């Protein structure tokens, strides 16, 4: 949900305008979801350790790792922008350049999981 809000707000914002209060709220949301994602990754890893690998667990693990990387670097870029040490365009470029990673993971799940987990 927060990633969707982040993508929407980035696309709707004028990249030339200075940082404002809403940008601070966005950073707070990104940091909070990073913490939630870390908890989710811990829970997924615990389930894999205890019960083994399943397609659903592996898919969730991969998606959460991808999300963690995306949001962590987004937070860094947003902090740089808020402190005047980076441009908003770099955050925009990061998000648009990273979107294919999600598509690549989805393709891997659809194409590689059936033979890996022996189901048809």
pLDDT at 31: 96
pLDDT at 2: 86
- Is the pLDDT assigned to residue 120 strictly greater than 90? no
pLDDT at 119: 80
Which tokens go with 61?
A: 């693990």
What is d(CA 34, CA 52) in angstroms, rounded to the nearest whole number? 25
Q: What share of the chain is helix, strand, coil (3-state, %, to 5)?
A: 80, 0, 20
Closest to 74 (Cα-Cα) out of 23, 15, 27: 27
pLDDT more than 70, % of the chain: 99
CA separation, residue 32 to residues 2, 22, 108, 119 (Å): 9, 15, 29, 37
pTM score, two decimals?
Answer: 0.90
- Is the pLDDT assigned to residue 90 strictly greater than 70? yes
The overall average pLDDT reported for the chain is 94
- The structure tokens 């990273």 sit at 98
Span 27-57, pLDDT tens digits: 999 999 999 999 999 999 999 999 999 999 9
DSSP annotation string for 60-76: HHHHHHHHHHHHHHHHH
């Amino acid at each position: 949900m927060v990633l969707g809000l982040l993508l929407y707000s980035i696309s709707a914002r004028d990249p030339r305008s200075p940082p404002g209060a809403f940008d601070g709220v966005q950073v707070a949301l990104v940091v909070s979801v990073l913490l939630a994602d870390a908890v989710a990754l811990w829970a997924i890893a615990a389930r894999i350790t205890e019960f083994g690998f399943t397609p659903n667990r592996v898919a969730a693990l991969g998606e959460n790792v991808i999300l963690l990387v995306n949001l962590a670097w987004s937070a860094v870029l947003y902090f740089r922008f808020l402190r005047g040490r980076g441009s908003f365009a770099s955050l925009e470029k990061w998000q648009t350049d990273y979107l294919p990673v999600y598509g690549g993971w989805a393709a891997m799940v659809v194409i590689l999981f059936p033979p890996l987990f022996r189901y048809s």
